[in-house]
Amino acid sequence: MSKMTLGAHPFLLGFDQLERLVERTAKTGNDGYPPYNIEQASENRYRITLALAGFREEDLSITVEDRQLVIRGRAAEDTEDRVYLHRGIATRQFQRSFVLADGVDVSGATMEHGLLHVDLQRSVPETVVQTIAINGKNGGDA
């Protein structure tokens, strides 16, 4: 007995990319750093918030690569001679990825109080009804 994959189901025509999407999502880093929230601001608006204490705007990069939102951070090295008795604020390099659905776009990003906010907007397509003509064997000639 062979296992039927999600993209091979007969009722899911053209959804073979969905299986690749699930695989890609499973491969994204899951180490918990940096911590983040995802909130739904309205029916078509979302906000991803990352806690980035110790990072500056110039330490961060936000890109969309093949429907995947990628946020990278690399804090500048301390140039001052500091002696830490305890260092509990992590500023290590990171990459956090989020797969975006079709029609979801990044509408902006802001940094305030050590929190990076990335706002997402879903475009709502108009409902379209399409009528399909049935052509006979003779190419529609009667």
Domains, the chain, ordered by start: 31-122 (2.60.40.790)
pLDDT, one tens digit for every residue, the chain (142 residues): 555 665 566 676 676 666 776 776 666 555 789 999 999 999 999 999 999 998 999 999 999 998 899 999 998 877 678 888 998 888 889 999 999 988 999 999 999 999 999 999 999 877 788 888 898 876 555 5
Is the entire prediction scored with pTM above 0.85?
no
Query: Please, which residues bridge with residue 60 across strands?
Result: 73
How far CA 69 is from CA of 28, 43, 98, 100, 119, in Å, comes to 11, 20, 5, 7, 11
